[in-house]
């Protein structure tokens, strides 16, 4: 029997939560709650707005889910929100609007979504996301500059090739 979107959300006061259906990585066994990192397709998105938000959940209400859409934030801010040394939002059941209300930049990414408009809901693994984010920024800037210089030299050699004249052949 197929679950409805309403059955995926439970009031935060009632434990345990119902897990979300299987996604491309198999069944999600983590409960959906405050601090969950979720992605979905939003059917009620207005033209020009994010149709596939990635949010850190702050509140789950009867008809709405609220959270921070990280697509509207910069890399360092997202990392700070998710890391234990920062706001520690990852799967933290105590994470709420109160944790972010003093930061105007983060508040600009705060959104509310109607539950009935959520389709293809997936819970993502915060620790995996943080690991990937850490490795992406682990490249030494000097190495990047050396790679750029090598590519420039290769392009110059390719573009400025000396073509032998007919007499030389």
pLDDT digits (tens, 9 = 90+) for 78-94: 888 888 877 888 888 88
Give the SS3 label for residue 162. coil
Give the pTM: 0.63
135 pLDDT higher than 60: yes
């Amino acid at each position: 029997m197929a679950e409805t979107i309403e059955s995926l959300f439970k009031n935060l006061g009632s434990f345990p939560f119902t897990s979300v259906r299987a996604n491309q990585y198999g069944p999600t066994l983590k409960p959906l709650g405050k601090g969950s990192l979720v992605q979905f397709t939003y059917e009620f998105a207005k033209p020009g707005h994010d149709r596939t938000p990635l949010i850190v959940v702050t509140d789950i209400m009867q008809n709405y889910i609220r959270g921070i859409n990280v697509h509207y934030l910069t890399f360092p801010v997202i990392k700070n929100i998710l890391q234990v040394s920062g706001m520690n939002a990852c799967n933290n059941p105590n994470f709420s609007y109160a944790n972010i209300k003093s930061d105007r930049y983060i508040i600009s990414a705060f959104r509310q979504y109607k539950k009935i408009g959520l389709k293809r809901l997936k819970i993502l693994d915060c620790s995996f996301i943080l690991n990937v984010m850490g490795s992406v920024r682990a490249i030494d800037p000097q190495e990047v500059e050396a790679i750029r210089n090598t590519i420039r030299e290769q392009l110059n050699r390719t573009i400025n090739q000396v073509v032998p004249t007919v007499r030389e052949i």
